[in-house]
Amino acid sequence: MKFHGKYPSTRLRRGRNEDWVRRLISENNLSINDLIMPIFICEGKNKIEKIHSMPGVYRYSLDKLGSVIKRIEKLKIPLVALFPYISPSKKDVFGSEALNENNLICRALKTIKKNFEIGVMCDVALDPFTNHGHDGLLKNNKVVNDETIKVLIQQALLYAKNNCDIIAPSDMMDGRIGLIRKSLEKNNFINTKILSYAVKYASNFYGPFRDAVGSKKLLQGDKKSYQMDFRNSDEALREVALDIKEGADFVMVKPGMLYLDIIKKIKDNFKIPVFAYQVSGEYSLIKLGIKNKILNNGSIKESLISFKRAGSSAIITYFAEEIANQLKKN
């Protein structure tokens, strides 16, 4: 690209001088349509539990879920993402509860899909259900790929049967998108969408989420043998290329703000909707910054617009409801 013109005939500040002109020429904008709201759910009744490391985020028992969804749907946020806090007594080494037809996620799906139009997405991975906190099955202390996929296929089918709209494998096993897609097609779930967590880094920013689903204290070791090394970016393109070939409808980059370069690269190389996940650690940093008056409230929108500028279609963010309320007011 070539730029012509020089000072004083060119003064870029002319385009910044009034609010109306700034609005007129803005290149990127955030809309409520871009937002995905993550919701943590738990067993029991009448529960709205605080999550210590995520101020302003709660776990809801299913009897409290309806009123939350009602608020979100009224704001016209298109999609919610459900994450379960499974009681420790239900966790085992295989994550068996993941395949229980009456587990927390299945019951939540029934409640929501019976009463609401809003889209629902569910993670496919075993970590909320295992007593070791890993996303897959262990053999000699390593997560085993192909054996894990067999369980993930069942988990995906179970969610599809309960009218989950978007299946989101977040486990990072090789080859799972293709096999999940194949089994969905075979079982006639031809409209069930797959959002692949195609590029998920072994990040230090997931801590508060692991608190929220109760896997933090359980987690043995780290997830570096399956989640991506954050020194790499070419590898991200290879992951995305494979997942598109295997039948993913959309791909996700996670975490978000530290990986804007990856979002941009994917968007430039593949014309597929890219979703960004502003993860728990990013949320809590900003939230605590605002709470302690180190940052001002505008930092939320600035962080979310950065995803739009990089090329994201949609953003999973714990700020979804808060920012939607702001956007609605303006």
Q: Residues interacting with ligand PBG, by CB under 6 A? A: 123, 125, 127, 135, 170, 206, 209-210, 223, 279-280
- What is the Cα–Cα distance from 36 to 252, expressed in whole angstroms? 12
Distance of CA 272 to the CA centre of its chain: 17
- From the list 178, 186, 308, the residue with the least C-alpha distance to 243 is 178
**Which of 125/324 has CB closer to ligand PBG?**
125
**Which of 155/162 has CB closer to ligand PBG?**
155
**Which of 1/50 has CB closer to ligand PBG?**
50
- From the list 204, 268, 272, the residue with the least C-alpha distance to 242 is 272
**Which of 66/285 has CB closer to ligand PBG?**
285
Contact 276, 313 (CB under 8 A): no
Q: Which of 64, 91, 200, 265 is catalytic?
A: 200
> To the nearest whole angstrom, how small is the minimum distance from the Cβ of residue 171 to ligand PBG?
6
> To the nearest whole angstrom, how small is the minimum distance from the Cβ of residue 127 to ligand PBG?
5
> To the nearest whole angstrom, how small is the minimum distance from the Cβ of residue 33 to ligand PBG?
21
Q: Which single residue brings its beta carbon nearest to ligand PBG?
A: 209
- Beta-carbon count within 10 A of 268 CB: 10
> To the nearest whole angstrom, how small is the minimum distance from the Cβ of residue 219 to ligand PBG?
8
- From the list 258, 267, 275, 329, the residue with the least C-alpha distance to 81 is 275
**Which of 135/165 has CB closer to ligand PBG?**
135
Which amino acid is located at 88 in the chain? Answer: P
- What is the Cα–Cα distance from 187 to 292, expressed in whole angstroms? 51
> To the nearest whole angstrom, how small is the minimum distance from the Cβ of residue 82 to ligand PBG?
11
Which amino acid is located at 134 in the chain? Answer: H
The dihedral formed by the CA atoms of 15, 17, 19 and 24, expressed in degrees to the nearest 10? -10
> To the nearest whole angstrom, how small is the minimum distance from the Cβ of residue 13 to ligand PBG?
39
**Which of 115/220 has CB closer to ligand PBG?**
220
Q: Which of 254, 265, 287, 308 is catalytic?
A: 254
- What is the Cα–Cα distance from 303 to 278, expressed in whole angstroms? 9
- From the list 107, 212, 96, 200, the residue with the least C-alpha distance to 155 is 96
- What is the Cα–Cα distance from 247 to 112, expressed in whole angstroms? 27
Q: Is 240 exposed, middle or buried (0-12, 13-18, 19+ CB in 10 A)?
A: buried
Residue 254 appears among annotated catalytic residues = yes
Q: Which residues are catalytic?
A: 200, 254
